[in-house]
Amino acid sequence: MVPIDDDAAAISDTLGIRRRQLLQLIAAGTTLSLLPGMFARRASAGEAAVKGGILRVSAPFNPSSLDPITSGAGSDHMILYSIYDTLVDFEPATLQPVPGLSTAWEFETPTRLVMTLREGVTFHDGTEFNADAVKANLDRALTHPRSTAKGDLASVDSVDVVGPYQVAINTKHPDTALPLILADRSGMMASPTAFDEPDRNFDRTPVGTGPFSFTQWNDGDRIELARYDDYWDEEIPHLDGIIFRVITDLNTGLRSVIAGEADFVYRLNPQQKLVADRAGEEVVVRSSPTVANYHIVFNYGKAPLNDVRVRQAINYAVDRKAFNQAAMLGLGTPAQTLLPPDYWAHDESLNEFYPFDQDKARALLAEAGYSDGLELQYYSNADQSSQQRAEIIMEQLRQVGIRCVLTTGSNADMFQRFMVRGEGDAIMVNWTGRPDPAQGFLFVYGEQGANNPGKVPPPQDLAEAIAAAQEGVTQEERQPAFARAERAALEHALSCEVAFVPGIEVHRANVGGYEPNLLGKPKFNRLFLRPQEG
């Protein structure tokens, strides 16, 4: 019953082990019912939060937009979370759904989700939050010409206002992933008064119900948020405000924290953890498991990767442990499927499904008619660490006779050429994961999935397993379906999962109230600053 220790002296490794042990317990199914109490939201209970102070965060990306439904990058969340509340929230350590702006929800029928809303919530502009506001938000997400939420909300058919504080979401088919989908950008509620204003650039003047309201965004420089005094949860915010400074160079971002010019930096690379570890007691270094991973996306809509044997050969040829050592200093976790070990939906028996076996890889290639080797068009982002990862994978593939021809470009360029236009055969992406595993399976393997460049419909066994996972309501009901989906994806070798990325964050020792989450996207809403000594 040890809550995640938030004491300044807590060492990241200790934290990691405790978390892993807890997750194992959970996986064993022994403590599921104890969970909500065990992971009491105030993890730093025992220490009183201090009011006041401005938290300075070093953010590695300038956001694409601060409107949740036009936001186009998984790195925008860290800023959006403070401005917007989501309809559903999640437990940081387990990603279990918990009440957010919706206090309770229930599937009235398999295709009708009824949500009861929190009363007494107002948007930063004074607009009242109610069922009409939820309907306006979801309708906008489904129809806005630039909406990026359409993929996540693909199952949603219509939204009914049932009462002043009750809405019903009708879906085209059963979709029990919906509550956790609404814990993501699609469930972030923006003020209808504000986004309906003609000529208003809502991307850059966001209004939500979150603990912090937006004050300023100097593009590429900083985003400033101020505490929202009328926030519905009277316990927070503790801080007077948050300043996100856009520092795209992670080394510089880390230096700003070590020098005390910023309080928090996230999304660091393992190499930077080594630097931070030497920085002394003024900073706390955290490394925790996340659902984000490096995976090789295949275009199996065309030769040579339309042959399952070639895809399996690649899975056998990749030495995941060596990759983890070389690219991530051993801080990551070797991956087999989209879901990490110890995660509730994951089937632990699949952890060695594709062992490193070069002979088997060569045999499979020979069987597929490539005994003299084969050439693969391999794509990669052009930044230094992406190229390093590409080099490791290409060398591993070369050893079994797969020659890779490398093409590099900016993230957006690679995305458009590989995923949209269908160029190339394989690309390694750093995928940030989603709160609900079904979201992930559809994103990666669905016919319209963004990471399915061939737009090949999933094989029947996989499709059925995903559908079953969207029908089960409780985790116990859904877990076997996810296990089947994992196994099907592995048997068809639809991708090559390589390693889960650790969430590495460094903050000043006087930052309290922080709890890393399994999603790897830090939330700053409950943070506080202890007065500095001296």
CA 217 – CA 67 distance, rounded (Å): 13
305 membership: H or E segment, kind and range:
none
CA 237 – CA 306 distance, rounded (Å): 52
CA 113 – CA 95 distance, rounded (Å): 20
Which residue number, 157 or 221, has a Cβ lying nearer to other proteins?
221
Single out the residue of 51, 321, 403, 421 in contact with other proteins (rule: CB under 8 A). Answer: 421
Find the shortest distance in angstroms from Cβ 64 to other proteins: 6
Half-sphere exposure of 442 (CA within 13 A, CB side): 22
Single out the residue of 37, 198, 220, 534 in contact with other proteins (rule: CB under 8 A). Answer: 220
Q: Does 256 bind other proteins (CB under 8 A)?
A: yes
Residues 127-166 that bind other proteins (CB under 8 A): 145-146, 148-152
Structure tokens that stand for 222 in this block: 């900083």
- In 3-state terms the chain splits into helix, strand, coil percentages (rounded to 5) of 30, 20, 45
Single out the residue of 24, 158, 251, 399 in contact with other proteins (rule: CB under 8 A). Answer: 251
Find the shortest distance in angstroms from Cβ 305 to other proteins: 21
Q: Whose CA is closest to 225, among 246, 204, 211?
A: 211
CA 168 – CA 475 distance, rounded (Å): 22
Find the shortest distance in angstroms from Cβ 80 to other proteins: 13
Which residue number, 282 or 471, has a Cβ lying nearer to other proteins?
282
Residues 400-419 that bind other proteins (CB under 8 A): 409-410, 412-413, 415-417, 419
Q: Does 46 bind other proteins (CB under 8 A)?
A: no
CA 67 – CA 265 distance, rounded (Å): 23
Single out the residue of 77, 118, 238, 245 in contact with other proteins (rule: CB under 8 A). Answer: 245
Q: Does 247 bind other proteins (CB under 8 A)?
A: yes
Which residue number, 67 or 85, has a Cβ lying nearer to other proteins?
67
Q: Does 253 bind other proteins (CB under 8 A)?
A: yes
CA 192 – CA 129 distance, rounded (Å): 9
Q: Does 444 bind other proteins (CB under 8 A)?
A: no
- How many residues touch other proteins under the rule CB under 8 A: the total is 47
Q: Does 73 bind other proteins (CB under 8 A)?
A: yes
Single out the residue of 233, 261, 352, 477 in contact with other proteins (rule: CB under 8 A). Answer: 261
Counts of helices then strands in the chain (DSSP H, E): 16, 21
Using the CB atoms, write b or e for 199-237: b if 16+ within 10 Å. Answer: eeebbeebbbbbbbbbeebeeeebbbbbbbeebbeeebb
| Site residues, other proteins (CB under 8 A) | 58, 62, 64, 71-74, 145-146, 148-152, 201, 203-204, 218-222, 245-249, 251-253, 255-256, 258-259, 261-262, 409-410, 412-413, 415-417, 419-421, 450
